[in-house]
Amino acid sequence: MAKSSSKKQKATSSDLKNQSSSKPPKKVVSTSPESGEAGLEDLFLDSVKDIYWAENHLVKNIPKMEKAAASEELQKAFADHLEITKTHVARLEQVFELLGEKKQAQKCDAMEGLAIEGEGIIENTIAGSAARDTGLIMAAQKVEHYEIATYGGLATLAKTIGRDDIAGILAETLSEEKEADALLTSIAESM
Ligand SMILES: [Fe+2]
Ligand SMILES: [Fe+2]
């Protein structure tokens, strides 16, 4: 108990350090009627930079999950989702282009945390065990749910700021994340 609370405190102080040094301050979203739309556009762009970092991080991490999995079905699911994730990266680059912005990644703390959690499962389980595969599926589903929440919100926000073209691109990715989540559920059920 004491150990985990000191861990938490550590993370908080390093977060503060990051904010004050390397990280640019988060933009304040205006709620005034005159500048409200500009605030939403900034929020949208910031969120695209976040998920762009997250998808790139996944391209590096999914192969570790694939290597750690014992079930062939699960290995294949990771291998297939790696290719799909590369498409998600490419779609976000298309979004930057449509926005007339340079592609840019902004560190996503949530995805970094989820990836660390996945690595923890690999460290704390025996290779080839059912516990490891089950843990990997749970970790992967947390990632998919984070992506589903992000793309769902971004697609709605794109429509709000009048970019139905971009909303359509994001909706394609959203439906692929939902498919990946459903596949992981069916693998877990069959195990
Ligand atoms: Fe993705
Ligand atoms: Fe995904």
Q: Would you state the pLDDT for residue 24? A: 52
Show Cβ contacts of residue 49 under 8 Å, excluding neighbours closer than 6 positions.
104, 105, 106
Q: Which helix (H) or strand (E) is 45 found in, with range?
A: helix 36-68
Query: Any idea which ligand is nearest the CA of 78?
Result: 2
With 50 as the cut, is the pLDDT of residue 189 above it?
A: yes
Residue 34 DSSP code: T
* Residue 83 vs residues 23, 58, 60, 96, 111: alpha-carbon distances, Å: 30, 11, 12, 21, 18
Average pLDDT over the chain reads 87
What is the Cα–Cα distance from 155 to 83, expressed in whole angstroms?
22
- For residue 191, the model assigns a pLDDT of 85
Distance CA 142, CA 51 (A): 15
How far, in Å, from the CA of 31 to the mean position of ligand 1?
30
| d(CA 78, ligand 1 centre) in Å | 12
Q: Which ligand is nearest to the CA of 179?
A: 2
| Contact criterion met (CB below 8 Å) for 161 and 44 | yes
- Determine which of 35-39, 70-74, 82-86, 161-165 has the lowest per-residue pLDDT on average: 35-39
CA distances from 98 to 95, 103, 118, 142 (A): 5, 11, 34, 30
Ligand 1 center from residue 30 Cα (angstroms):
29
Ligand nearest to the backbone CA of 184: 2
CA of 12 from ligand 2 middle (Å) equals 27
- How many Å lie between the centroid of ligand 2 and the Cα of residue 166? 19
Between 112 and 191, residue with greater pLDDT: 112
| pLDDT value of residue 180 | 97
* Phi–psi pair at 171, nearest 5 degrees: -65, -30
Can you spell out the DSSP letters for 91-155?
Answer: HHHHHHHHHT--------HHHHHHHHHHHHHHHHS-TT-HHHHHHHHHHHHHHHHHHHHHHHHHH
Ligand 2 center to residue 31 CA distance, Å?
32
Query: pLDDT tens digits for 53-96?
Result: 999 999 999 999 999 999 999 999 999 999 999 999 999 999 99
- Taking only the tens place, the pLDDT of each residue in 122-158 is 999 999 999 999 999 999 999 999 999 999 999 999 9
